[in-house]
Amino acid sequence: MDSENRPPENRTDETTQNPTTNQPPERASTQPRRRRRWPWVVGGLVALGFVGLLVTAVVVVAVMAAGGGGGTAGGPSAIPFDEEYVSGDGTDKVISIPVEGVIASGGDAIAGQSSTVTPEGLQDALDQASQDPDTAAVVLEVNSPGGGVTASDEMYRSILEFKDKSNMPVIVSMGDVAASGGYYISAAADEIVANETTLTGSLGVIISLNNFTELADKYGYKQVVIKSGEFKDIGSSFRDVKPKEREIFQSVIDESYNEFVSVISKGRNLSEKEVREVADGRIYSGKQAKELGLVDEFGDLEKAADIAAENANAKNPTVVRYVQTPGFLDLVQARLAPPEPEAIQLIKAAGIELSPRPMYLYRPGI
């Protein structure tokens, strides 16, 4: 008999005893085998993580694209200003633009936001006002101690250009403080309104140099400088200022001061001699400033708006204030921005400039 037709030998079914143990074998389970689920769970988590990374990457790319090449204010992604109602119900508008805080370049502003305390941000606001056919006049609400020399001058020139192109009056309404660079930009206005208690003046330029020599000696810190020219390390914080270096700094300060005097002389119709007599760096109250010809009227925003409307021949205009509400991308940009080290924050709060530069700035004790 061939093997294909041979009956099975010694085959046991599920009831046959185990020959080695004489114990009946376990019956085969009739239940389906449980499928392992953990690979699917792990795979799902991995996929979810990948999707999260992909979404994050898309958001980052979108934010960078929205930043307009650096995220500075005034670029293609500049945020339009919303209008906050103040008073009036006429067709013509008086646009109030707040200028609050230390004047700085756009690179120092919050990513994605057009702060009107930067030249770029103020330009955006003035452009929006000029493009609105209902705009009759502009009021600048200045509440600033000033700031950078270059940034202040750029804002001043933006105001002059706006007046020249739009033929609209610009009135300044001074807040608590409108000093140094805050006054510099105010000099471009047609008229200046202040409160009697407004702190203004501080007409001049300052540069603060640090001297850490005693601190370095105490802790054994030494700095080795290799330079290409005699004055390449001018203003070093680890040695005293040399007489020739002091002359160089003073020449730069004098140039900026002369420009400040010229701006006030033109804007306030005062002789340079009259300006130099009051521009010795001291501060003035609003009342003192009016007596010196630095301020025209006492009052608040309402007074400034009335003067603006009168100069523009606008009857009972609607006064609105430009405000900004950060959008989603702006919030994301702010969150993605690396936090500034606490030590740097403390240094800035103390008024210490790590990179000394000329400033139109009022800061007590600087």
Active site residues: 180, 232
- Collapsing DSSP to helix, strand or coil, 334 comes out as helix
Residue type, 16: T
154: Cβ contacts below 8 Å, ≥ 6 apart: 119
**What DSSP character marks residue 190?**
S
Tell me how long the chain is.
366
Where on the phi/psi map is residue 284: left (φ > 0), alpha (ψ -120 to 50), or beta? Answer: beta
**Phi then psi dihedrals of residue 24, to 5 deg:** -65, 140
Where on the phi/psi map is residue 127: left (φ > 0), alpha (ψ -120 to 50), or beta? Answer: alpha
Element (H, E) at 333: helix 328-336
**Phi then psi dihedrals of residue 266, to 5 deg:** -70, -45
**Which one, of 111, 27, 36, lies nearest residue 72 by Cα?**
111
